[in-house]
Amino acid sequence: MTVERLKAFAQAWSEKNIDTIMDFFTEDCRYSASVVQKSKETAYGKKEVREKVLALIAFDDSITSEVNNLYVDGYFGFWEWEYKTVKNGTVKGCDVFTFQDDLIQIKNAYRKIMT
């Protein structure tokens, strides 16, 4: 994985392009979202991950999203993100990634709780 490729993934996420988003994941991927909805916390495999991503996109209702401080080192990476939403104002967080070659094997998202 490269920073440039991770930026392309960020762009697809920002555009809510689910097909392109899923092209970045391995078949045996795992995704733990920053918020837990009605389903289980962690999704396993492309089918479950796709469903989780779609649910999260709907939940966040983001007007804009911005990713900063992308970092890739071998099979590890992270980024910081900020959403500006209609319902919640500004929401910040970070994602931690594990890569397998040029694909995302694990994506763990963490959301900052603003009080």
What is the tens place of the pLDDT at every residue in 83-113?
Answer: 887 766 788 899 999 999 999 999 999 988 7
Rounded CA separation 93/70 (Å)? 13
Confidence of residue 40 (pLDDT cuts 50, 70, 90): low
Number of domains in the chain: 1
Mean pLDDT, residues 47-70: 85
What is the residue range of 73's domain? 3-111
What CATH number does the domain containing 54 carry? Answer: 3.10.450.50
Whole-prediction pTM value? Answer: 0.88
Q: Which of residues 88 and 14 earns the better pLDDT score?
A: 14
Question: 15: buried, middle or exposed (CB in 10 Å: 19+, 13-18, 0-12)?
Answer: exposed
